[in-house]
Amino acid sequence: MLTNKNIYLHGQSFSNHTVAMILIPSLAWRNLWRNRRRSLITISSVFFAVILAIFFYSIEKGTYQGMIDNMVRFSTGYIQVQDVLFEEEPSMDHSMLFDDHILDILERHSDEVSFYVPRIQHFALAAAGRITRGVSVMGIVPQKENLLNDISERLIYGEFVEAGKDDIVVAKGLSDILNVSTGDSIVLLGQGFQGATAAGIYRIGGIVSLNIPEMNNSTIYMPLEAAQWFYAAEERLTSLVIMPEDPAKTHQLAEKIRAEIDGEWYRVLTWDHMLQDLIAMMNYDMAGTFLMMGILYMIIAFGLFGTTLTMLLERKKEFAMLMALGMKRRLLALVCFTESVMISLTGAAAGIAAAIPVIIYFYHKPIQLSGGLAETMLDYGFEPVLPVSAHPQVFISQAIVVLILALLTGMFPVYSVFKLDVVKEKQK
């Protein structure tokens, strides 16, 4: 039974507005398939655009994530505690005292801290025979350093550093530059804490191959106690690396430590602050990818607009007749808007559904590179593979872009319906 306000279906009362909202998606979907070929072509264009965009973005994001992971594991860690002046002037005079104040803070957050890595990292001059080279001396606790980057697994000759011994480990690139091998001795000369002279002769106990070229050509590892003695900096560190249980909560943990630590003497830094230059380079490169994806989506947007325009031109008389029979303009405009959104989101949903298994497959089995490109990747310390990212953001971002395009193109039929001259169209 139909009244002015309600419609009764199966003994239940629904308002005209509710019925319209139920019927509009069904009407819009049926209208799309009145011209099946055109709808399939439009949906296919969105489908392939979404797949290509997801694949490009996934490769870019995966590659950069690999670079960041390398730098975090071999250089900065996720969080570092330093002397408040060390970042501005990295000298031994600005090393930090590793005392009970720091240990108490680490103990209070032990459930959030996976492990910590104490380090001394400072400049020295290394000499072997007539060859000299500026080097970075890394004083480490071997067991803790291994937790961070499995550095001992990269040993290619000899033995790794051990607590209580003075033997050092030299990076492979540096050993080639100095023309030394295991069993040879090198002289180290530098400046220690409060102007003390740092000098010593050290036997090379092992040679290690590092991923990052700059580190491979300039790094020497020695036990932390030996480095503290060398730089006359007992109980002092240049940095304390802290690795959180959950890397996603790095900034939350850093804020907690920052709130409890003596800010007059210590500074807490996160990985994104310490790798600002790398992140800026990545963002610059990512802008090129976004530009390419933007051009791709602009082409798709014009395709969507063309489909919408054609549908409107074909159905102007139909719209005029519907409005003459009493259909309100806003409902007709809503049907047209829904058609535009549906055709776009159908293509996007199909593209995402098809991309997910492909991305997951290549995430677990990255594409192996070969030839000169593989050698270049190895030279820069990366595995010769093309990694992809399976982060949800890769898929969600494309869905959002397509939704925005659908909403923008969907406004044109709304405008056209409200501007339609019913009398003029009926006379044609």
Query: Hey, CA dihedral for 99, 100, 105, 110, is it positive or negative?
Result: positive
Mean pLDDT confidence for 403-411? 86
Mean pLDDT confidence for 88-112? 89
Query: Residue 424 has what pLDDT?
Result: 64
Listed in order, strand segments (DSSP E) in 216-258 are 219-223, 236-237, 239-244
Q: Residue 41 pLDDT more than 50? A: yes
**283-334 confidence digits (pLDDT tens):** 887 787 788 888 888 888 888 888 888 877 777 777 777 777 777 888 888 8
Q: Name the DSSP class of 369.
A: P
What are the domain boundaries of the chain? Answer: 13-69+279-427, 85-262
Strand duo 219-223 + 131-140: pairing: parallel
Distance CA 263, CA 111 (A): 23
Reported pTM: 0.68
Highest mean pLDDT among 76-85, 319-328, 374-383: 76-85
Query: Residue 288 has what pLDDT?
Result: 79
| pLDDT band at residue 2 under the 50/70/90 scheme | very low
Query: Residue 11 has what pLDDT?
Result: 47
Query: Are 231 and 120 within 8 A, CB to CB?
Result: yes
**335-356 confidence digits (pLDDT tens):** 888 888 888 888 889 999 999 9
**What is each CA distance from 49 to 259, 290, 293, in whole angstroms?**
47, 13, 9
Query: Are 196 and 232 within 8 A, CB to CB?
Result: yes
Query: Are 126 and 220 within 8 A, CB to CB?
Result: yes
Mean pLDDT confidence for 115-134? 92
The full length of the chain comes to 428
Query: Residue 238 has what pLDDT?
Result: 92
Distance CA 220, CA 233 (A): 18
Distance CA 333, CA 176 (A): 74
Q: Among 59-68, 192-201, 227-236, 256-265, name the one with the lowest average pLDDT.
A: 59-68
Largest CA distance in the chain: 104
The mean pLDDT value of the chain amounts to 84
Burial 28-56 (b: 16+ CB within 10 A, else e): beebbeeeeebbeebbebbbbbbbbbbbb
More confident residue, 18 or 153: 153
Q: Residue 30 pLDDT more than 50? A: yes
Distance CA 214, CA 165 (A): 27
Query: Residue 172 has what pLDDT?
Result: 92
Q: Among 155-159, 171-175, 185-189, 311-315, name the one with the lowest average pLDDT.
A: 311-315
**206-222 confidence digits (pLDDT tens):** 999 887 778 889 999 99
Mean pLDDT confidence for 23-49? 83
Give percent above pLDDT 70 in the chain. 91
Q: Among 109-113, 156-160, 374-378, name the one with the lowest average pLDDT.
A: 374-378
Q: Residue 15 pLDDT more than 60? A: no
Q: Residue 427 pLDDT more than 70? A: no
Q: Residue 4 pLDDT more than 70? A: no
